[in-house]
Amino acid sequence: MRSNEVKKGFNRAPHRSLFRATGLKDEDFDKPFIGVANSFIEVIPGHFFLDEVSKIIKDEIRKNDCVPFEFNTIGVDDGIAMGHDGMLYSLPSRELIANSVETVMNAHKFDAMIAVPNCDKIVPGMIMGALRVDVPTVFVSGGPMKAGHLKDGTPIDLASAFEAVGQYEKGNIDDEKLHEIECNACPGGGSCSGMFTANSMNTLMEAMGIALPGNGTILALTPQREELFRKAARRICEIAKDELQSEKFKLRNILNEKAVKNAFAVDMAMGGSSNTVLHMLAIAKEAGVDFDLSKINEISKNVAHIAKISPSLSTVHMEDINRAGGVNAVMHEMNKRGEGVLFTDNLTVTGETLGDRIKDAKILDEQIIHPIDKPYSPVGGLAILYGNLAREGAVIKTAGITGERAFTGKAVCFDGQPEAIEGIIDGKVQAGDVVVIRYEGPKGGPGMQEMLSPTSLIMGMGLGDKVALITDGRFSGATRGASIGHVSPEAAEGGMIGLLQDGDEIHIDVDNYILEVNLSDEEITKRKAAFVPKKKPLSSRWLGQYRALVTNASNGAMLRSDME
């Protein structure tokens, strides 16, 4: 066992003495040590109950003759951090989480890990850290929140609350209606109920084979979810107690190139958050997988979009997907398109191949998960755009487009999200415009803020199908509309988005993967010669360190190290 390094031999008597201080007995030193990576934090709806979840998991680990050691990571609630400088800390928190998992697991030589994430950057951060450690790991998330409902029964969620702000600004709803939406959008614990970033990542863990079936869709705080926690705990003990299984189920043996491609394919079929691109690029690099951004379009062409979930012009939520057959049903239906859509021979943490896992799955409600011959779109729900405005790529959630898939308009430029919010409210954006929000990339922000506030204002003010928005920042999974993010190179590194001026004509063609500004090469050269990127003043040492080390979005916004 890996843990023998800290618990066996006469020279480890001091180490055992310290373990005994935590309650261990003689018999415990012959058992596997299981790290329980918990993301309990009271400020996040998807996490405030995870202290009770870890008690369930640790109880099951002890029953199965292993020794659990719980440790915690930090977390940022993107919704609460949204629209102010707190959002600068969201994406950087992913790196802190990855580093903390690596630190605790390697410092104490635990044999295996069960990871309990749920929301936002916490899921990819834990996956990245676990890949560095590369011991057997089972992921089991806290579970999605129920959808909220208005008095008339209309389903709502967090996106409804953000868009209500724009409706209120426009005078389309009053104080009473705003308050009703506020009080009902998030009815209880769990990751926000639509296909936002948290639930996108929680479903992709099923596709990667690193979580059990139901991880992305079984509601939080239910008996069914508790049984999933116990099942996950039993499984990690089965692996950890068997030397051959411990070697076979090291995380990198499961989360490999096939798993990465499977994750992107399922993302396409379910219209996941554009943030998944950023996180999966980083996960791929941690897994040692060479995955270029352009491959996403190749995957998209082979995958039909068969599940449309809020906020993509839909009142469908994760509980509906669960009732309709879950992620397994989605994957089973996807696979009917033929070879190459999914790598069904890839191993999963439960011991079977992905193909074996999904072979008996079926759609239980074709209004929720469409049959492969009746898709919402014959291609996937994400696309990567290229052109002189995004030489290294930009990301659009095509599943969330509310207007035309080709758009040409005049640029209205804002140097940062606060300026954009003020300008949108003041009426500077009109039908036919392309909103440009720059200096919000990983380096420029720093921290690559989500743009849910401006996109929600645009939707709430009735401009969602009449304008487009481009940014070197990113979007919440709750964003919808013609919203293009992750523009790379970003403004802070001299990217073309920083050279744009009000009135420049921008052309977007999603189906042909184009994002460009209609300027001559001579004009672009002239602007570049005079361009000096802005650098925001900072008072935070952590954000200063992050800005100095972070790569752009096309590289997953990972931190550089001297290993590279």
Give tens-digit pLDDT for 81-114: 987 889 999 999 999 999 999 999 999 999 999 9
Distances (CA, A) of 163 to 46, 158, 167, 185, 306: 21, 9, 6, 11, 25
Backbone angles phi, psi at 510, to 5 degrees: -65, -45
Residues 6 or more apart in contact with residue 312 via CB below 8 angstroms: 195, 271, 381, 397, 399, 400, 480
Give the integer Cα–Cα distance in Å for 490 and 393: 10
Least confident range from 100-104, 263-267, 377-381: namely 377-381
Per the CB < 8 A criterion, the answer to whether 505 and 472 are in contact is no
pLDDT-based confidence at residue 481 (cuts at 50, 70, 90): low
Chain centroid to CA 517: how far?
A: 29
In the predicted model, is pLDDT for residue 404 greater than 90? Answer: no
Please provide the average confidence, as pLDDT, over all residues in the chain. 94
Residues 6 or more apart in contact with residue 1 via CB below 8 angstroms: 32, 33, 111, 246
Q: Where are the domains of the chain?
A: 1-29, 31-143+187-358, 383-555
Query: Of 450, 522, 527, nearest to 496 (Cα)?
Result: 527
Averaged pLDDT for residues 489-510: 96
pLDDT-based confidence at residue 479 (cuts at 50, 70, 90): low
Per the CB < 8 A criterion, the answer to whether 262 and 342 are in contact is yes
Least confident range from 255-264, 403-412, 538-547: namely 403-412
- First-to-last alpha carbon distance for the chain, in angstroms, is 31
Predicted pLDDT at 82:
84
Residues with a known catalytic role: 476
- pTM for this predicted structure: 0.94
Over the range 333-370, which residues count as b (16 or more CB within 10 Å of their CB) and which as e?
bbbebeeebbbbebbbbbeebbbebbeebebeeeebbb
Predicted pLDDT at 159:
86
CB atoms within 10 A of CB 234: 16
Predicted pLDDT at 400:
74
pLDDT-based confidence at residue 564 (cuts at 50, 70, 90): low
pLDDT-based confidence at residue 67 (cuts at 50, 70, 90): very high
Q: What is the pLDDT of residues 105-143, one digit of tens each?
A: 999 999 999 999 999 899 999 999 999 999 999 999 999
What tokens appear for 518 in the block? 């209609």
Domain 383-555 in CATH 3.40.50.920 = no
In the predicted model, is pLDDT for residue 313 greater than 70? Answer: no
Averaged pLDDT for residues 6-26: 97
In the predicted model, is pLDDT for residue 561 greater than 60? Answer: yes
Q: What is the pLDDT of residues 415-432, one digit of tens each?
A: 999 999 999 999 999 999
Query: Of 65, 241, 207, 78, nearest to 139 (Cα)?
Result: 207
What share of the chain has pLDDT > 70, as a percent? 99
